[in-house]
Structure 1
């Protein structure tokens, strides 16, 4: 458990909903706590942990046979406030990878070229489904995610294409190994 998660758990247990029963009070306590986090990523992690804790608390409360009481209603009100705060932060939050994870211009160009070659090869092999080409083309627009996240996205797209039977497992493995060549450090973290 990292510091942000611990803060969220402690806040939930000792302060968040104690003596609070209105949206205004919940929002006020939430705003006061979020003030102490400078990074938007930390705020989002805090809110995610707080929401998950609230959902688990409701589930536990219901499993004990307590249904229809104010306890559940108060937690749902808190989840509503948390969701609003998450939406508000996401409006202006942009993911920025760490500098050592960013693609260089040369790396982007190389991967872009490899993606084009893969499309050509798939066309020659008779894989003419538009969904395949759309998924591969979309990868070209996400180099800003950083290496680790981009390769996670690649892996997810390839798994989806395999599950949908759009591509065979051997073709997917070939594509992944071709694109991940030279990035073994990042792809090992994903596997």
Structure 2
């Protein structure tokens, strides 16, 4: 458990819900605590932990509740936290860690691989526009970093397979082609 997680759980347990029963008090307590974090990524992680913890507590309580006021305050807390998450997400831009960033050479190789895949699919009569749009879209997201980009690629390919636009074998071949030369990329497992 990292510092942000510890702080979030401690804040939730001892300070947040005890700060007030109205929106203004909850927001004030949350704003005061968020001021302690300089990085938006830490703020978002903190808020998501608070929201998830509150949601789990609320669901567990509903199983045994006969109509008390417990859920009203938890719903207010979730509302305040989600507003803050939306506010940060408006201006937050993801920046991958240095070791996760693609080099110019890696971007160029992937771009070439994507073009080759498109040509091969066209030759194999996989001419549906959706395939080309999904693969073309991958070219615009190298800024996500290696891990996130490959997760996006995997998701798009699996979605095309589930929608029966391409078959499993083609999906796996495309991902293997893209991930060739990149360490620590998990292969696609489709049953």
Q: Is the alpha carbon distance of 1:100 and 1:76 closer, same or farther for their aligned partners in structure 2, counting shifts above 3 Å? A: same
In the alignment, the residues of structure 1 paired with residue 73 and residue 87 of structure 2 have an alpha-carbon distance, to the nearest angstrom, of: 21
Deviations 1:28-51 (A, max 9, x none): 000011111111111101100100
Moved >4 Å (runs of 4+): none
TM-score relative to the length of structure 2: 0.94
Structure 2 equivalent of residue 15 of structure 1: 15
Aligned pair count? 189
SS at match of 2:21: coil
**C-alpha RMSD of the superposition:** 1.5
Q: Are the aligned partners of 1:152 and 1:190 in contact in 2 as well (CA < 8 Å)? A: no
Structure 2 equivalent of residue 100 of structure 1: 99
Structure 2 equivalent of residue 186 of structure 1: 184
Structure 1 equivalent of residue 114 of structure 2: 115
SS at match of 1:187: coil
User: Any unmatched runs of 5+ in structure 2?
Assistant: none
Measure how far apart 1:107 and its partner are: 1.2
Measure how far apart 1:189 and its partner are: 9.1
Alignment of 1:1-191 (within 5 A): 1-67=1-67, 69-183=68-182, 185-188=183-186
In the alignment, the residues of structure 1 paired with residue 19 and residue 6 of structure 2 have an alpha-carbon distance, to the nearest angstrom, of: 22
Deviations 1:103-147 (A, max 9, x none): 111111111111011111101101111111111011000000011
Q: Are the aligned partners of 2:12 and 2:50 in contact in 1 as well (CA < 8 Å)? A: yes
